[in-house]
Structure 1
Amino acid sequence: MNIKQLKYFCRVVELGSISAAANDFSLAAPAVSMQISSLEKELNGILFDRSSRPMGLTKLGEFVYQRAPEIIYNLEKLERDAIFYINSKSTTLSICFVRSLMFNILPESIKYHLDSHNHIDISLREVLSEYQTELLLSQELDIGFSRLMDADISLSNDLENELILVDPLIAAIPKNHYLSRRKFITLRDFCSSPFIIYPSDPKSDYSKSIFSKFEDYGIKPAISHRVVEIHTALALVGAGLGVTLVGGSTIKNNRHDVVFLPIEDFKCLSFIYAMYHPKNKNPNINPFIESMKMVTSL
């Protein structure tokens, strides 16, 4: 049994006759018929009921057809992956990322990328933006994905930096909050509730940038909790213990006990960047970045 026989068999099933399948493959009908007969001989059974028009499948034919398309797909995929493997100098890609990208953007980008680059072994490490530069400069990791509040100041001149997405911050409030039925809220509405800030890391500028933005609007929220990461912050919001800010890209498929609303009079943008060392020769860096750009543009 070989992939050619299986392809011919499946096409005959799909088109209803050997002559139609032969025409589709630009072959003479006897050539396709010979491959089908050869497959039947190897299986020691009949695949088609040739007494009916159009030809119907025997029980053996139905059994084989249930499995053949998947086998064809896997064999063709193996061939594509092997070609990628031969032509690539590296089959690995190490990525560091901020946790907020793990809600949607990064998993969807990996899935999209591996559809056509399945030979790559991707390793992941969660790293705050402020700690990524050192790891990328040492080339311990290949790509860093950061969320920055002030891109012009925060970007390293020693790294290549590519903007992936401008991601506005929006309010995350408990589902049973009195504001949850509105389509949008004001900044004073938002800051009337206890504020949950993250990440509680001395090196992180994220919370400082947020409060600097609040000060620009003459507002100082009361902090109820300082937590390490966004998942904990949203869990506390869901429990009704306060409100927080998150990037708009995190909304999809997020918690059902949290409502996400735009703040009408508060413009606060975050910038998601891809960063890598200009001397890093891993050929998988740029293709993965392009995959992420494609995902975020959809």
Structure 2
Amino acid sequence: MNLRQLRYFCEIVEAGSAVAAASRLHVAPTALSMQLGQLEEELGGELFDRSRRPMDLTALGRYFHPRAKALLADAAHLQQEASSVAAGRSGVLAIGYTRSTIFSILPNAIQAFRSSHPNVKVELMSLLSEHQHAELQTGRIQVGVSRYVGPVPSIDELEFKRLLDDPFVVALPATNPLARRKLLHPADLSQTGLITYPKDPQSRFAEHTIALLREAGGQSPVAHEASDIHTALGMVASHLGFCLVGRSVEFGSRRDLAFVPMSRLADKAAVFAVTKTGEQSKVALDFVETLVATTARAARVPKRTAR
């Protein structure tokens, strides 16, 4: 049994005869009759009472007709949905992201993407950069938005597209006297505790930022280890210390914090869009293009001055 047989059968019912159905379908009556006969053979019974003129449905035909119409409607709907997915107009896009990118990079991209792809369902999953690799390889997410300090891992199955270099700034309570400075030196914070993040055995981000600060001549002790950047910034707002964050974090961040550049920091974070090598999903590829465009536009916006 195939969709052509179902369509021919339903057309005969709607047209009232095989001859009228063949005319509507632009096929030879013999071809239509052959397909109907094959269908009846597969079903094990006749669908029409051929002894009557015009032909009438048998009990099997009356049972089969509404179900055949439903199957044809489902098939047409499936074809439309599949074509929409293939064209990138609909589907599901799963994105893994580091929490620091939720401040500005990701919201801008998602807003722009949803305006051009309103029928695509976007799923967001908060994942450390190191945890995104496995989820990309298994297909659980299609795009990762990752942040790295130092060497970027080389993984054969993954492609890394650089979005921006994100210089580090110092996050301080807005009421701290140092928050009024235009530039800080490592020695300025020697008596202030450093808050590191994330507290995860697979992440070397905290280790890299500590080394970066030490190389610049900073002697600040580690006061707290936060589970993630949001917790770290909450600790800063509570006057428990300071932390280093990418400059992009400043946008959309808390108003009780100030972000001040620090001299002599020899490295900066880099943010990447990560996909599987040879990714075929048009939805995923369209989102990466949107991410590149919105990040580039945001980078051209003048940075807010420290409070």
- TM-score, structure 1 normalization: 0.68
CA separation of 1:229 and 1:107: change in aligned 2, threshold 3 A: same
| CA apart distance, 1:245 | 0.7
Structure 1 stretch displaced more, 179-188 or 81-90: 81-90
Structure 1 stretch displaced more, 85-94 or 260-269: 85-94
Is contact 1:90–1:282 with CA below 8 Å preserved after alignment?
no
In structure 2, the partner of 1:163 is 162
Query: What's the CA shift string for 1:42-97, capped at 9, x where partnerless?
Result: xxxxxxxxxxxxxxxxxxxxxxxxxxxxxxxxxxxxxxx99955734861111101
Which residue identity is paired with 1:104? S
Provide the secondary structure at the position in 2 that maps to 1:297: helix
Which residue identity is paired with 1:111? Q
Is contact 2:195–2:224 with CA below 8 Å preserved after alignment?
yes
5+ residue gaps, structure 2, are: 1-80, 298-307
Structure 1 stretch displaced more, 210-219 or 173-182: 210-219
In structure 2, the partner of 1:143 is 143
Query: What's the CA shift string for 1:225-265, capped at 9, x where partnerless?
Result: 11101111111111111100111111112111111000122
1:64-103 equivalences under 5 Å are 87-88=87-88, 91-103=91-103
Matched, 1:234 2:262: no
1:1-298 equivalences under 5 Å are 87-88=87-88, 91-152=91-152, 154-298=153-297
Provide the secondary structure at the position in 2 that maps to 1:115: helix
What CA distance in whole angstroms lies between the structure 1 residues aligned with 2:189 and 2:266?
13
What CA distance in whole angstroms lies between the structure 2 residues aligned with 1:246 and 1:219?
16
Is contact 1:174–1:237 with CA below 8 Å preserved after alignment?
yes
| CA apart distance, 1:266 | 2.0
What CA distance in whole angstroms lies between the structure 2 residues aligned with 1:181 and 1:279?
48
CA separation of 1:182 and 1:158: change in aligned 2, threshold 3 A: same
RMSD after superposition: 2.1
Provide the secondary structure at the position in 1 that maps to 2:233: helix
5+ residue gaps, structure 1, are: 1-80
Question: Computing the radius of gyration over CA atoms, which structure comes out larger, 1 or 2?
Answer: 2
What CA distance in whole angstroms lies between the structure 2 residues aligned with 1:215 and 1:87?
51
CA separation of 1:150 and 1:106: change in aligned 2, threshold 3 A: same
Which residue identity is paired with 1:217? A
Is contact 1:171–1:190 with CA below 8 Å preserved after alignment?
no
Is contact 2:93–2:283 with CA below 8 Å preserved after alignment?
yes
CA separation of 1:194 and 1:168: change in aligned 2, threshold 3 A: same
Structure 1 stretch displaced more, 198-207 or 218-227: 218-227
Which residue identity is paired with 1:146? S
Provide the secondary structure at the position in 2 that maps to 1:284: helix
Question: Identical aligned pairs, as a percentage?
Answer: 29
CA separation of 1:98 and 1:174: change in aligned 2, threshold 3 A: same
| CA apart distance, 1:296 | 1.2
Provide the secondary structure at the position in 2 that maps to 1:91: strand
Provide the secondary structure at the position in 2 that maps to 1:235: helix
Is contact 1:139–1:280 with CA below 8 Å preserved after alignment?
no
Is contact 1:89–1:282 with CA below 8 Å preserved after alignment?
no
What CA distance in whole angstroms lies between the structure 2 residues aligned with 1:274 and 1:254?
22
- TM-score, structure 2 normalization: 0.66
Query: What's the CA shift string for 1:82-118, capped at 9, x where partnerless?
Result: 9955734861111101000111111111001111111
What CA distance in whole angstroms lies between the structure 2 residues aligned with 1:90 and 1:238?
41
